[in-house]
Chains A and B, each alone.
Chain A
Amino acid sequence: MSTFKVVVSNIQQITPLIKQFSFIREDGASLPPFSGGSHVVVAMNINGRLHRNPYSLMGSPQAPDTYHIAVRLQEHSRGGSAYLHHEVKVGSQLEITYPNNLFALDKRARKHLLVAGGIGITPFMSQIEDLIRTKANYELHYAYRSQDHAAFTSTLKEKCDERIRVYVESEGLSIDLKALLSKQPLGTHVYVCGPNAMVVALIETARSLGWPENHIHSEQFLAPPSGEPFKVKLAKSNIEVHVPAEMSMLEAIEAAGVDAPYSCRGGACGRCELEVIRTDGVLVHQDHYLSEADKAAGKKIMPCVSRAKCHSLEINL
């Protein structure tokens, strides 16, 4: 992935757990434009180990003079969110990839229904800019735990006017997905980003009501889960890499100095797919890219989030 260097130009505490970071280009050049829903991968050198986390770009995609990301401090952070929250200051230098969009608005939609849960609001922050600019028909439904978690609510209320509805869980409000999805006009596309349970519930509700697959869009980047350590043999490079419990296979391969393809690093895009040659155990698929048939066949693996329960695994890299 090609990257460029940025400098942190501003940091804002949005909620007790969410900070917004603003970046400008280190070389003073203008930032690449992007489309609503795009993300960048931020590289962080934490105690000699390279972390790369994807974050949605917020703000206006047209001609951005600044990039904005919002980061929630994770309770069980693997290091990335804690590093951004505690170590990164105004003036810090970071390296980011060019924007990539895995959560684009479908321009054929006659109406866009956006459903966000918690920090899942971030990709919609730039999509809304696009929707307002193109005068598109849209509705935003935003659910969060309590007023303490109400990130960007006042900004959104101002921008979206009567098109936004918020649901505060601590006040007993939640989105009635069935009611919401059963009364949408023909030609509506639905987009969901939030916790796993919410994403799954929305997709299943939409399907059960007869929504065609190509009208349902979701984004959910997974943090690489930890597991048992194992060894990966890289057939083409002819080296063996140890994958520790708390490191993803992709990170371990990179740490060994081998260039592996990647894009979202969250099990969503499919870019990092590798061919499995053999294993003496079982593959533990954790992505939401491969089909159930592919997962069962055991010939492919997404090393950004998936692992193997084995002593050794051989892949074609």
Chain B
Amino acid sequence: MERGYWIRSKPVYSTLVWQQQANAHIVLVEGSAGGLAAMKLFQQMHPEHPTKVLYARNPVVQQDLSIPLSKVVPDALLMFETTEESLVAFEAHLSSACMGLRIYVAGSERFIWQVAQMADKYGIDDSDIIKELVGTLARPIYCVHCKTISYEAHTNIKKCDGCGKQLFVRDHFSRRLGAYMGLMVDAEDPGQIPSIEEIYP
């Protein structure tokens, strides 16, 4: 990829910071790095509005932060073993929530966009979600040929879980699908696969 090259669709992530103007807050975090992001958020302050923290322990890479988190956020913390369970709880919360709910998410790109897609179902635009990318840079990849989304792409070229084609992982991102576009890398020269390197650890 050329240096200085920029694709507008590629998401830019920030760090979690409380939004002062709010009616309520919900914080979704994934794994050890997500747990740490939640800890840092509560180091800023304890918000005055009703707050909930949904912590999905999985994947635990370094340490499980459920004990320190439960000390910092004693009455607002809900713990889950998997991200899927936390998303189910998130949807239940959204269905009864009012306008003014601020949504914060810290985790892998896959998790961030699962949360964004869920919020979209309830009429909330992803641009209104505070997102922090932590833990892993692994990308979800959408195969433009067979439409399968493969997760956990750590390399510049990844084999599609659906059709088995070797896909070149682009920076071009779809917010609707929550994935980067992947194109067959050897379409013009079948069998000519450039060297595969880990660039999304």
Chain B hits for A142, CB < 8 A: none
Chain B hits for A214, CB < 8 A: 125, 127-128
Would you call A182 and B122 a contact (CB within 8 A)? no
Chain B hits for A185, CB < 8 A: 97-99
Give the Cβ gap from B48 to chain A, nearest Cβ, in Å. 12
Would you call B98 and A186 a contact (CB within 8 A)? yes
Chain A hits for B128, CB < 8 A: 212, 214
Would you call A181 and B99 a contact (CB within 8 A)? yes
Chain B hits for A109, CB < 8 A: 123
Any chain A CB within 8 A of the CB of B192?
Answer: no
Would you call B124 and A187 a contact (CB within 8 A)? yes
Any chain A CB within 8 A of the CB of B77?
Answer: no
Chain A hits for B62, CB < 8 A: none
Chain A, Cβ-Cβ closest to B123:
A187
Any chain B CB within 8 A of the CB of A188?
Answer: yes
A: contact size bracket: 10 to 19
Give the Cβ gap from B138 to chain A, nearest Cβ, in Å. 29
Any chain A CB within 8 A of the CB of B57?
Answer: no
Chain A hits for B19, CB < 8 A: 210
Chain B hits for A207, CB < 8 A: 21
Any chain B CB within 8 A of the CB of A209?
Answer: yes
Any chain A CB within 8 A of the CB of B4?
Answer: no
Q: Indicate whether A211 sits within 8 Å of B125 (C-beta atoms), given known contacts A182-B23, A186-B94.
A: no
Q: 1/0 per residue A207-241: CB within 8 Å of B?
A: 11111101100000000000000000000000000
Chain A hits for B98, CB < 8 A: 182-186
Chain B hits for A181, CB < 8 A: 99-100
Chain B hits for A208, CB < 8 A: 21
6 chain-A/chain-B pairs, Cβ below 8 angstroms:
A181-B100, A183-B98, A184-B99, A185-B97, A210-B24, A210-B100
Contacts A181-B99, A186-B99, A210-B100 supplied; 9 other A-B pairs, CB < 8 Å: A110-B122, A182-B99, A184-B98, A184-B99, A185-B97, A186-B101, A186-B123, A209-B99, A214-B128
